Amino acid sequence: MTKHADLLVIGGGSGGLAVAIRAAKLGAQVTLFEPHELGGTCVNRGCVPKKAMWLAAELAEAQGMARAVGFDVAPGTLDWPVFVARREAYVLRARNSYANRLRELGVEVIPELAYFLDAHTLRAGDADYSAPHLVIATGSRARPFGLPGAEFVIDSDGFFKLDALPRRVGIIGGGYIGVEFAGVLRALGAQVEIFSRSGLLSHFDADLGSELEAQMQVAGIGHHARCAVRGVARDDGALWLDCAGHARHGPYDCVINATGRVPNVASLQLDAAGIRVNDRNGIVTDAFENTSAQGVYALGDVNGKVALTPVAIAAGRQLAERLFNGKPGAHLDYRNIASVVFSHPPVGSVGLSEAVARREFGDAVHVYKTRFTPMLWSLAGREGKTFMKLVCAGAGERIVGLHGIGPGMDEMLQGFAVAVHMGATYADFLKTVAIHPTSAEEFVTMA
């Protein structure tokens, strides 16, 4: 016997929960399939526990600066088990909150793996389910290492299973995951080296990667650029990492693979529903999250557009509005999505990089940059400066890209993202009276 609903959602992560909750609020009968913990990667093995670790690292750095400015304190080390217990308790509260919300809204949760029998029928466990609308929101997983010594390497999931601070760490990958882990581990006391094929944060504005590298060098984080990793080996109780054409590097107590993520599609049997994927195994969707199968949609990391939790949530809510609230034009605008890397210090970016802007607007691009020493850093004698950049285009100098690195960048970016999204110009920024003394004022005073 087949069970029927208005909407079937595969995946209980950020995107799946968003579309399920909004659809249920709009009166739809919803069934959600999630064989693991509610909340997906973000809540359980991603942005939430990562931000908790980042906050602990921030406190570790703050101890040193407090002593430098005159406080009679002796910086201490993090009691790892105590902190992890607090972190996991926070994660559990988030999961329970989602479970309670789904129950209140009458969303049926099936704790089973679901896969397609055809475009409108799923099988989960020993039962079949059908609906006129099906959403795939199965997220992504860490990219497998796939080289000799994979058994000695952990990924981002393994990072959150560490029961103590590793003393010596090698990190493979210079993207946002790699630099975030590097900053956290170094601030908490580990010796850290990063290995990457190119510079740091290669998908961001080029100045951000170079500025972050300079800051990480000051912090004592090593970076081996242009390193094609050949494998990892264990020798005399330690781990060693090989780069093509380079000498062996190490020793390390822990090696982390942070080379990106891949869509979770292997178990879905997409062929049975006629759903196309691209050459990166992301599900192909149009601007309205439609797949190649009528009535089947994909959102979040699994469609490979923008792998950010707020993007999945926003796309899910817009899809529910379109399907169940009479808004046929509702869809997410993927332009000018703000993004923060929780490195040390944090990096923020919204809009176009300088390189992309020049490809799009040519000689009509004008760039403004500034560096500034934050007051606390100056008081504490800490080396380094913030870096902020405006990328403007056209005769009116509309701001098409805003980028920065420095303390507080994670919080200040949200408001500036609103201005960029609304089409603010360089002149608009200069007309805005600065808040002094802050780092944020640099965005409205740079010339």
Is position 436 annotated as part of the catalytic site? yes
Burial class from Cβ neighbours inside 10 Å (0-12, 13-18, 19+) for residue 28 reads buried
Count of CB atoms situated within 10 Å of the CB of 328: 10
Tokens coding 400: 């098409």
* Nearest of 38, 44, 47 to residue 308 by alpha carbon: 47
* Spatial distance between the Cα atoms of 118 and 121, rounded to a whole number of angstroms: 5
DSSP 8-class letter at 434: P
Q: What is the DSSP string of 132-146?
A: SEEEE---EEEPP--
* Spatial distance between the Cα atoms of 255 and 227, rounded to a whole number of angstroms: 15
Answer whether 32's CB lies under 8 Å from 110's CB.
yes
Of 4, 133, 366, 436, which residue is the catalytic one? Answer: 436
* Spatial distance between the Cα atoms of 301 and 44, rounded to a whole number of angstroms: 15
Tokens coding 235: 């020798």
* Nearest of 430, 440, 343 to residue 386 by alpha carbon: 440
The per-residue b/e assignment along 141-161, b for 16 or more CB within 10 angstroms, e otherwise, is bbeebeeebeebbbbbeebbe
The three-class DSSP label of residue 27 is coil
Contacts of 410 (CB under 8 A, 6+ apart): 340, 342, 346, 348
* Spatial distance between the Cα atoms of 442 and 430, rounded to a whole number of angstroms: 10
Beta-strand pair 121-124/114-118 = antiparallel
Which residues are annotated as catalytic? 436
